[in-house]
Amino acid sequence: MLGGAGSPREMARIKLLWMTATVAGLTNCAPNDTTSVERFVATGELVALSGAAAGAANACFTCHGLRGEGDGAFSPRLAGLDAGYLERQLIAYADGRRDHPQMGYITENLTPLERRAVSLHYAAMVEPPNGQGGSLVAQRLYHVGDTQRGLASCASCHGERGEGIGPANPPLAGQPAGYVAAQLDQWRHSKRRSDPDGAMLRISQLLSPAESAALGVYAAALPGGPPSPKSLGASPEARRGDPRSGASGPPLHVPESARAAE
């Protein structure tokens, strides 16, 4: 529910508008000039810095950094990612196809326009420098795959330099190694189900946790490159109910004890 006048959500929005007006005053705007304030809101920067109705404690920059660089661990870099891809992920958090309590709360408190604005804000940022490292096993899996297991190379979708191919396949270069490994684990346990073709579900179940961790380290060290053409497309309703988005079988590398615990 959006909430009516006097609701916590509405009060939070009133407070947010007050904060915006205060920022305008501090930047010495003319008394009747709202141009800079409107620009601030329109770019999504206000959402990123304030958290909008989700509150300041949930502001995007607190986990993803002021430059969208991520935290180097489990919060991904957002800088330079495709705007349409980012918006689709926010929608997936909001409707439960990506399981993350804090992100679910944040996205539920963002309007569709705020989701799009903050996605455009991070998409316009410059990709930060990447790290170094990676094993030969991960290098082969990334660039060649494993035909015996039916594993296509990661590069076939995410690019030889980790730059991403198309709006649906995000760049991996510069992402925190722990985040990449954690997302493969999310796919493996069907806690991330925003893949209509089921490709990542199958891949994650064929990879062992050790291979996933190694791929995270290797992908983080890739140099990246010019991104694919940007897309503003979000997540079409017709695709959200696709049964292929769900789990099709138990993870292949998860111990029986772990499965029973779920």
For the chain, domain boundaries: 8-123, 136-241
Fold agreement between 8-123 and 136-241: yes
DSSP assignment letter at 192: B
12-36 pLDDT, tens digit per residue, is 555 555 454 444 443 444 445 445 5
| CA 65 to the chain's CA centroid | 13
Reported confidence tier of residue 256, pLDDT bands at 50, 70, 90: very low
87-104 pLDDT, tens digit per residue, is 999 999 999 999 999 999
Model pLDDT, residue 39? 57
34-48 pLDDT, tens digit per residue, is 455 455 546 799 999
- Name the CATH superfamily housing domain 8-123: Cytochrome c-like domain (1.10.760.10)
Model pLDDT, residue 132? 58
Model pLDDT, residue 229? 52
Model pLDDT, residue 86? 95
Q: Are 151 and 228 in contact (CB under 8 A)?
A: no
**Does residue 120 have a pLDDT over 60?**
yes
Residue 48 Cα distances to 29, 59, 88, 227, 258, angstroms: 22, 6, 17, 22, 37
Mean pLDDT (whole number) for 160-177 = 89
3-class SS shares of the chain: helix, strand, coil, % to 5: 50, 0, 45
Phi, psi angle pair for 191, to nearest 5°: -95, -5
Topology of the domain comprising 136-241: Cytochrome Bc1 Complex; Chain D, domain 2 (1.10.760)
